[in-house]
Every structure is written in structure tokens, then in C-alpha cells.
């Protein structure tokens, strides 16, 4: 009978009942009540979705506004009519979803999944939910006669509605849809009878189960709207119950029930997660990408996923989203003032205030927080381009615009240090999976470099983790191979041992040198206490927490590996074969044993590296002089102009290495002058001037 009521050609109702149902529907239309703040949030979300969709269309993107961001597939459509077999199929699915062993009580099968509930909800509520449908009239009687549980009906209805695509052109369409939602919800609540009622200081199990279900909504924005409607329905029944009871005339303030508090907490959480979810499923492109865009799988952001994902889940999700845009990491750095993130403590000597005063103070603090964020240029404009009033205003990148909105809701998780650390980890991890893509490694190093000075504790610990997880093994392989061959190996050996071609080995070593510069530069850092939003709970340990737990690196080992990498770069950059096993010749026995040992082991007298003896110093000096000779080939003439920029750059590298080895650089400079004099006949006066400048520097030494 219930299935016939839902899918029959005519609903089984009396005409008089139909009239009363229409009056009831008109009464329900006025029950969709949202506060100004709630309406503002929803309007801003709809505007943000429309804006991102417009931006995507301008860049040639096709953006689907839905829970998964997938496009509509093309294919054969089948007629869902009475003459087709689809109705019979849906009826069989309808029957198979229930446990009918009990004649008086029909329950959903325990093994049914959420997707099964959604399919069943579509069978039950699709026609009933359509605009202008009068099938709601008699719904309670039909459901009650069949012995269906109201809890199961509400669960299937929510599963169906929460997975509908979010396609609303404006607020009027949304309010119309919420009115239909509220009408169905009200009918189910009438079927539940006293189960929806609750005492002022108690939690209603019926509504608690609804809140738990909304936690898992795959579209947090729909979950937010459903929570608002369910809250209004719950409090409406509470108001009706309390109006029937005797009220104390002398009551001076309005009591806030436990249920109202629970709904308020859930709605606040869903609001933050809804904004996060809608931005992360949008395909927003950077206007001027600097680095490669990583492959991005749009996440399903539910409140439950955020609550169980640990305190680092937000920064991780946003970093993955940003890595798909190719934006320049330094542009993500925003110094947030203390007013924007500081929790306003209550003075100890302050007396207890009334709830109205507390609400006023909370609103004032919230307003001050947002003003502080705006002063910090977190919200530069409400549009992608400059406004009509200010044509000279700099255009705000769509990625930064959306990120700034997220920072209003997650100021701690998305502060510069935490976000850039996660972004660096994403890029370098992507490079580790495809080592030929050196641009990813460069993007990761740029993210590391952009981390602010006050957050070097995160940076230094992250460098330890990157070294152990991604750079140590390929650099060690490069060291062994170059030491064996004595120069840049052939492509086959490089691909086999290191994982990259011979042409990329020098570029990889240059990136390693940049990494060691960042690593050593962050060793002097202050202890940092990380902060996270109250919404986020304990779970998997965040990346930044792991980074701050790392011990400081051994500076002597850092310096040693920096020298090793410089030697490898020299050996692989010039077509000169050096002595057999050059690494063993240029470093003493203890240094060779210390290579690629624990980078943050504590230095002691037992493992301290000795100074180089006279023989080793001589070998190193000869090596650097041979390198200077090789760099002379970089000096070239073009249109009567001599270029020696590359040569000078290498001389700076040689000078740094000589300083690390504590060699007298004057001897190396003299060798440079003697080499430059030999090519004077080729480049005439220009090189003579260059050589004369070198001589003047030597005399200054």
C-alpha cells in the first residue's frame, strides 16, 4: 500500500484530506526561518560557487557543481514509465531493502550501506519530493499502516537529499527547495510522535541520531542546510511542548536547552566544513602559474572526515588543492596579526555576565577578528578583478581569493608555515615518484624557502624528514656511481642506479645544494607551539607536529654533505676524468664513513671529524685548480663581446668549497690568473682587462 501511495498514478487520499493538507503546506511555508547571519553565509556560498564556475568557464574548464565534481556521462536513456521494467526493478529493490520477518514491524536491513539507503530514498521520496506533488497528503497514514519505522524513513530521506546535486541559481530556488524538505521532514516527525520531544536539560535520542547522520554528509553544504531545517523543526516542537505547560511568570531569562546547544555546535562546524568542501571541489586555476600542476583528486569533504582525519587534515587537503594550481609559493605568505587568531581570555576578576551580554561580546570579538584579517589584506576584494570604484586596484588571483576565505575559517591550520610545509612535502613527494620531473623538486624547495623566519622550527624538522625520506638515497647512489666512474656516468648507468638521466644529474645536485642551504639556514630556530582550530580533534599526527618533534641536525654532517654535493656537481659538470675513486681521494677515512649517517645524531668528541692533513689539503688544492682550468672553457666571445658570467659563477662555488676546506684561496686565484693569461691571444684586450682585474684582487689579498 505504501509503495502504491508513492508510485501509483493517483494518490490514495480523500478530497477533504487534500484540502486540509494544502492548508498545512501553506502553514509550513512560513516555517523555513533562517537568521540574517545564516542567510548571509548561504548567499556567499552560492555566490562563490557561481564565481568559481564563471572563472572555470573563462579558462576553458567545465565545472560540475555537485558532491563529487564529476561530469554527466552521455549514454542511452531508458524510459522510467509504467510500461517499462524499471518500476518493477525499483519495487524489487524496495522490498529487498527491508527485513519483513516481523509482521508488525518492518526495519531496514542492517547490512545496507549508505549508498543503498540513498537508492531506497530515491525510490521512496523522488516523486513525493517533486514541486507541486500532493503525495505528502496521507503519507503518515500510509507509512503507519505498513509498519515502517520513522527513524528508517528519515535516514533514507536524508541519504537521498544529501546526495542531490547542489544546483541553485539564487536564494529563491534554494528557499523553495528547503520548503519542500521541511514539509517532508514535518510529516516524518508527525509519524515519530513523542519520540521527537525532549526535556530542557536532556538530549533527544531521535535528534541525536539525526546529528550523527549529518556528520557523514558527503556534501557538507547540504548537511548544513539539513541541520538548519532539522534544528528549526526540533525547536518548534520544543516550543509547542513548553507552551502547553505552565510557565513560571517570574522567569527573567530564556532557557537554552541542551538540544539547542547541540544543534548550534553542529551548525558552526558544518558551516566551516561546508565552505572548505565547496572550495576544494572547484577547479580554480592560477592566473600566472609558476610551477607544475600536480594531479588532483577532488575529495569528498564531510564533517566526519574532518573530525577523524587528525589536526593536520585541513592543511593537507588545502595543500593538495594548491599544488594543482601551480601558484608561486611566496605569494601564499600572509602575516596574520595577533588580533586575528588570539582567543580573548576572560579576566579573572570579571563578574558573570548574562547570556545577552556574552552574545554581544562574542559578536564584538568576531567583528574585531574579521576586521583584523581584512587589515592584514586577507580579504582584498569581493571580486576576482578590480572594482569599478577603484580601477587601479591590483587584480587578486582566484586561488588566493578562495584561500583567503578558507583562512577566515581555519586561521591556524592555514597559516603560512603550516601550509607551505605541507605544500613542500606534496611537491617533493611527487618528484620522488617521478624523478625526471625536476620542476616538482624545485617547487618543493621554493615552498621551503618561503616559510617565514618565525616558523623555522617547522622548516628545520621538515628538512630532516625530506632528507631521510626522499633525498638521501638518490644522492648516495649518485655518490657511489660518480666515485666509481670518476666523472658523469653514461645515461644507462644513471637511470639504473640513480633513477634519472645523465643530463639531469647536475640539475639534481644543484637542487641538493639549495636544499642544504635551506637546511643549514634553519638550524638556528626558536621552539614553536603549534595551534589548531577547536573543530579539529586528535587522530593521525600532523606533518608539522612530526617536524617540530625532530632533533636538530648535526651541523658538521650538514657541512660535510654540502661539500660532497659540491664535489659531485663539479665532477658531473665538466668533461674531465679525475683520479680513480675521487671521493675517497678528496675526503679522509672518517668523512667517508660519516657520509649518509644519521643527519641529526648528536656530535661528540668520539665522532668529531678531524682536520685535513697536509697531503689531503694538497690533493684538494690540485682538484680545485684543475676545476678552475676546466671553467676557462666557459669564457666565450659573441659579436666582439666576451662573456665570462658562467666562469665567475663557478669561481664563487670553488671559493665556497675552498673556504669549507680551509684552503688558501689566493693560490687558486693565482692559478685562475695564469689560465686567463693563456687565452689572452684569443680574446685580446677584453680578457686582458679581466686578467688585470684578477691581478688587482690578488694584490689586495
Residue 459: predicted pLDDT:
96
Per DSSP, helices labelled H in 595-679 are 614-631, 645-660, 665-678
Question: Mind listing the pLDDT tens digit for each residue in 221-245?
Answer: 899 999 999 998 888 876 555 555 5
Between residues 291 and 486, the one the model is more confident about: 291
Between residues 23 and 567, the one the model is more confident about: 567
Between residues 241 and 214, the one the model is more confident about: 214
Distance CA 365, CA 343 (A): 9
Q: What is the DSSP letter of 286?
A: -
Residue 242: predicted pLDDT:
54
Q: Phi, psi (5° rounding) for residue 170?
A: -155, 180
C-alpha cell belonging to residue 389: 570604484
Residue 634 has a CB neighbour count (10 Å cut-off) of 16
* Best-predicted range by mean pLDDT (165-179, 564-578, 686-700): 564-578
Residue 362: predicted pLDDT:
62
C-alpha cell belonging to residue 654: 670553488
145 falls in which pLDDT band (50, 70, 90)? confident
Q: Above 60 in pLDDT, residue 449?
A: yes
Alpha-carbon separation of residue 190 from 3, 29, 58, 195, 197 (angstroms): 19, 17, 49, 10, 11
* Best-predicted range by mean pLDDT (16-20, 68-72, 140-144, 629-633): 629-633
Question: Mind listing the pLDDT tens digit for each residue in 337-374?
Answer: 554 444 444 444 444 455 555 665 565 565 555 544 44
Q: Are 625 and 674 in contact (CB under 8 A)?
A: no
Q: Above 70 in pLDDT, residue 206?
A: yes
Through-space distance between the first and last CA atoms of the chain, rounded to whole angstroms: 103
**Which range has the worst mean pLDDT, 104-118, 174-188, 498-512, 675-689?**
675-689
**Which range has the worst mean pLDDT, 264-278, 470-484, 593-607, 635-649?**
635-649
CA angle 594, 600, 606 (to 5 degrees): 50
C-alpha cell belonging to residue 264: 548550534
Residue 177: predicted pLDDT:
87
C-alpha cell belonging to residue 426: 606534496
**Which range has the worst mean pLDDT, 278-287, 321-330, 498-507?**
278-287
Q: What is the DSSP letter of 536?
A: -
Of 156, 252, 240, the closest CA to residue 198 belongs to 240
Residue keyed to cell 654540502: 562
Counted residue by residue, the chain has a size of: 701
Distance CA 118, CA 164 (A): 10
What integer best gives the mean pLDDT of the chain?
77
Is 608 in a helix, a strand, or coil? Answer: coil
CA 632 to chain centre: 48
Distance CA 192, CA 206 (A): 9
Distance CA 146, CA 136 (A): 16
Between residues 385 and 489, the one the model is more confident about: 489
Is 281 in a helix, a strand, or coil? Answer: coil
Of 653, 687, 493, the closest CA to residue 568 belongs to 653
Residue 363: predicted pLDDT:
58
Of all residues in the chain, what percent carry a pLDDT higher than 70? 69
Residue keyed to cell 685548480: 625
Q: What torsion do the CA atoms of 632, 638, 640, 643 make, to the nearest 10 degrees? A: -40
Of 676, 457, 446, 474, the closest CA to residue 545 belongs to 457
Distance CA 526, CA 529 (A): 10
Distance CA 114, CA 107 (A): 15
549 falls in which pLDDT band (50, 70, 90)? very high
Average pLDDT rounded to a whole number, residues 426-438:
96
Distance CA 81, CA 88 (A): 10
Question: Mind listing the pLDDT tens digit for each residue in 638-689?
Answer: 655 667 788 889 999 999 999 999 998 888 888 888 777 665 555 544 444 4
Average pLDDT rounded to a whole number, residues 134-162:
80
Residue 239: predicted pLDDT:
53
Distance CA 157, CA 510 (A): 59
Distance CA 360, CA 678 (A): 83
> Domain residues of the chain, as ranges?
2-29+38-62+85-242+257-279, 284-341+364-386+393-573, 614-700
Residue 58 has a CB neighbour count (10 Å cut-off) of 11
**Which range has the worst mean pLDDT, 57-71, 172-186, 431-445, 682-696?**
57-71
Average pLDDT rounded to a whole number, residues 95-120:
64
Residue 536 has a CB neighbour count (10 Å cut-off) of 20
Distance CA 502, CA 505 (A): 5
Q: Above 70 in pLDDT, residue 105?
A: no
Amino acid at each position: 500500500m505504501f509503495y502504491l501511495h508513492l508510485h501509483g498514478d493517483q494518490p490514495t487520499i480523500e478530497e477533504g484530506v487534500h484540502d486540509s493538507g494544502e492548508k498545512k503546506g501553506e502553514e509550513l511555508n512560513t516555517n523555513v526561518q533562517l537568521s540574517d547571519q545564516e542567510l548571509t553565509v548561504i548567499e556567499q556560498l552560492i555566490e562563490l560557487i557561481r564565481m568559481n564556475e564563471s572563472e572555470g568557464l573563462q579558462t576553458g574548464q567545465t565545472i560540475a557543481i555537485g558532491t563529487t565534481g564529476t561530469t554527466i556521462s552521455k549514454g542511452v536513456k531508458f524510459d522510467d514509465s509504467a510500461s517499462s521494467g524499471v518500476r518493477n526493478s525499483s519495487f524489487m529493490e524496495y522490498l529487498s531493502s527491508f527485513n519483513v520477518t516481523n509482521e508488525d514491524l518492518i526495519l531496514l536491513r542492517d547490512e545496507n550501506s549508505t549508498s543503498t539507503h540513498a537508492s531506497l530514498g530515491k525510490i521512496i521520496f523522488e516523486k513525493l519530493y517533486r514541486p507541486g506533488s500532493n503525495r505528502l497528503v496521507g503519507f503518515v497514514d500510509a507509512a503507519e499502516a505498513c509498519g515502517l519505522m520513522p527513524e528508517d524513513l528519515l535516514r533514507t530521506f536524508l541519504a537521498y537529499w544529501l546526495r542531490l546535486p547542489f544546483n541553485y541559481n539564487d536564494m529563491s530556488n534554494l528557499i523553495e527547495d528547503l520548503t519542500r524538505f521541511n514539509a517532508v521532514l514535518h510529516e516524518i516527525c508527525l509519524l515519530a510522535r513523542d519520540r521527537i520531544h525532549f526535556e530542557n536539560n536532556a538530549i533527544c535520542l531521535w535528534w541525536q541520531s539525526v546529528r550523527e547522520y549529518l556528520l557523514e554528509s558527503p556534501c557538507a553544504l547540504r548537511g548544513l542546510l539539513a541541520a538548519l531545517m532539522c534544528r528549526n523543526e526540533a525547536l518548534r516542537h520544543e516550543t509547542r511542548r513548553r507552551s502547553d505547560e505552565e510557565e513560571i511568570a517570574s522567569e527573567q531569562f530564556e532557557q537554552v536547552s541542551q538540544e539547542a546547544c547541540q544543534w548550534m555546535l553542529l551548525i558552526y562546524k558544518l558551516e566551516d566544513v561546508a565552505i572548505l568542501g565547496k572550495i576544494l571541489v572547484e577547479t580554480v586555476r592560477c592566473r600566472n602559474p609558476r610551477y607544475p600542476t600536480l594531479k588532483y583528486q577532488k575529495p569528498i569533504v564531510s564533517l566526519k572526515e574532518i573530525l577523524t582525519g587528525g589536526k593536520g587534515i585541513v592543511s593537507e587537503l588545502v595543500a593538495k588543492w594548491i599544488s594543482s594550481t601551480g601558484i608561486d609559493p611566496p605569494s601564499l605568505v600572509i602575516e596574520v596579526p595577533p588580533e586575528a587568531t588570539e582567543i580573548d581570555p576572560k579576566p579573572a576578576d570579571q563578574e558573570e555576565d548574562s547570556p545577552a551580554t556574552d552574545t554581544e561580546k562574542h559578536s564584538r570579538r568576531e567583528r574585531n577578528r574579521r576586521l583584523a584579517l581584512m587589515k592584514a589584506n586577507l580579504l582584498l576584494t569581493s571580486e576576482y578583478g578590480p572594482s569599478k570604484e577603484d580601477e587601479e586596484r591590483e587584480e587578486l588571483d582566484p586561488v588566493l581569493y578562495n584561500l583567503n576565505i578558507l583562512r577566515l575559517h581555519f586561521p591556524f591550520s592555514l597559516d603560512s608555515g603550516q601550509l607551505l610545509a605541507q605544500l613542500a612535502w606534496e611537491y617533493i613527494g611527487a618528484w620522488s615518484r617521478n624523478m625526471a620531473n625536476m620542476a616538482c623538486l624545485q617547487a618543493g624547495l621554493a615552498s621551503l624557502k618561503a616559510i617565514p623566519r618565525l616558523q623555522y622550527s617547522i622548516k628545520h624538522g621538515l628538512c630532516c624528514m625530506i632528507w631521510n625520506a626522499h633525498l638521501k638515497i638518490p644522492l648516495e647512489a649518485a655518490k657511489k656511481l660518480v666515485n666509481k666512474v670518476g666523472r658523469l656516468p653514461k645515461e644507462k648507468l644513471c637511470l639504473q642506479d640513480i633513477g634519472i638521466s645523465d643530463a639531469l644529474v647536475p640539475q639534481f645536485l644543484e637542487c641538493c645544494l639549495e636544499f642544504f642551504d635551506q637546511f643549514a639556514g634553519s638550524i638556528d630556530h626558536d621552539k614553536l607551539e603549534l595551534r589548531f582550530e577547536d573543530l579539529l580533534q586528535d587522530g593521525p599526527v600532523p606533518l608539522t607536529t612530526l617536524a617540530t618533534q625532530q632533533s636538530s641536525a648535526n651541523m658538521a654532517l650538514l657541512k660535510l654533505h654540502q661539500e660532497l654535493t659540491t664535489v659531485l656537481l663539479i665532477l658531473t659538470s665538466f668533461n674531465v676524468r679525475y683520479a680513480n675513486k675521487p671521493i675517497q681521494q678528496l675526503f679522509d677515512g672518517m668523512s667517508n664513513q660519516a657520509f649518509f649517517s644519521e643527519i641529526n645524531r648528536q656530535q661528540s668528541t668520539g665522532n668529531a671529524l678531524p682536520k685535513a692533513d697536509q697531503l689531503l689539503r694538497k690533493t684538494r688544492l690540485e682538484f680545485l685548480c684543475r676545476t678552475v682550468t676546466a671553467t676557462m672553457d666557459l669564457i666565450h666571445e659573441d659579436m666582439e663581446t666576451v662573456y665570462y658570467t658562467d666562469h665567475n659563477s663557478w669561481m664563487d662555488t670553488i671559493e665556497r668549497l675552498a673556504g669549507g676546506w680551509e684552503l688558501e684561496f689566493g693560490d687558486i686565484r693565482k692559478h685562475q690568473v695564469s689560465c686567463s693569461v693563456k687565452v689572452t691571444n684569443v680574446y685580446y684586450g677584453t680578457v686582458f682587462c679581466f686578467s688585470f682585474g684578477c691581478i688587482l684582487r690578488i694584490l689586495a689579498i
